[in-house]
Amino acid sequence: MGTTQTTPYESLAAQAPATALWTLLKVSSSLASTLELSEVLQIAIESAADLLGLETGAIYTLENGVLYLGAATPSLPPQFPDELRQAYLFDHSHIKEVVSSKAPVYLDDARQAPLSAAEKIVVDARHLISVLYFPLLLKEAVIGVFIVGTTSQSRQFTKSEIDLCYILSFQVALAVANAQLYQKAQQAVANLSQAYDATLKGWSQVLDMRDNITEEHTHRVADLTVALASQMGFPESELGHLRRGALLHDIGKMGIPDAILQKPGRLSADEREIIQTHPEKAYQIISQIEYLAPAMDIPYCHHEKWDGTGYPRQLKGEEIPLAARLFAVIDVYDALTTDRPYRQAWEKEKAMAYIQEQAGKHFDPQIVTAFLEILRTELNPPI
């Protein structure tokens, strides 16, 4: 029957005192409670100082020869030198030794030890006497370093305490790796979102040009939509979807023939019927793109009317999604106050009066009230 091999972590843990193991178990639980790298590192350095009964400490992550301060205990005040926040590995010989040997380095009295200029800044700024550097090890790689020390008297470290440092290092390294992976995944999602939004902006500009509308129209209505939604208490998480919906409100017109879309004169009944299919075409386009599904309400429903006489589905009152009700007011107001090939722009006061007159007919009365409040504040800002 074969024997099972123990890992270095398990071997060290088997020799640790029960009180230390209890502390490490609590540390492990705390580390498992978050995927935020800053929180992981703060837990790590506070745990290291607590485990060894020390007054001060810092933890740095290491990337491509650069040391980045992750956390410190006690926290660094803002005026502390940059050398405590970011540094090059080759400027810190003792840390460099830790990285190359993958083993702790101990200074009995850092005030008397040979230090590089950068190391002396750290020692002096933190008033360190005895210093223990030990590696943050992930498998065979050093991904960071702990620096802990005393500020009142010199201190020796036993083999048992060094072993505890290794156990802590294993725990923290896994938590750091998980947090970094999560952070990279979040950044990848953010980058992808930015790329999508840049594409949507391009689409909206093409649509505006094709519809003989300046590109400022789409940007204006998108900005106003977000501003009004914020004032009305929409959650921050929904504002991006609202902006995308506003940018793509007329995407369905991609399916409308140029002869109709760009016709300078009045449309016939048949042509108006074709134009009024663009919300359904928007639905057909957007429903195929999962990323845009939460932005569907505006392109699909912004031509519905509060009294049920809109299109494409003759929705009435609160049957109309709130985002579409909100956007409808803004879209009409912007259209009225902008020069078009077939008419001059209205004065703002005239357009506001029209919007007010259409409350309860075309528009949701509560949204009209909120929107006109924004406009009046812009026209008559508080002194």
Of the chain, the end-to-end C-alpha distance in Å amounts to 87
Which amino acid, one-letter code, is at 327? F
Classified as helix, coil or strand, 155 is coil
Interatomic CA distance for residues 246 and 92, integer angstroms: 53
Distance from chain centroid for Cα 181: 15
> Taking phi first (over 0 means left), then psi (-120 to 50 degrees means alpha), and beta for anything else, what does residue 153 get?
beta
Interatomic CA distance for residues 64 and 88, integer angstroms: 9
Q: Which of 253, 305, 348, 350 is catalytic?
A: 253
DSSP symbols for 46-68: HHHHHHHT-SEEEEEEEETTEEE
How many alpha carbons fall within 13 Å on the CB side of residue 148? Answer: 23
Question: Does 253 participate in catalysis according to the annotation?
Answer: yes
Q: Which two tokens stand for residue 203?
A: 């689409």
Which amino acid, one-letter code, is at 380? N
For the annotated catalytic residues, the residue numbers are: 253
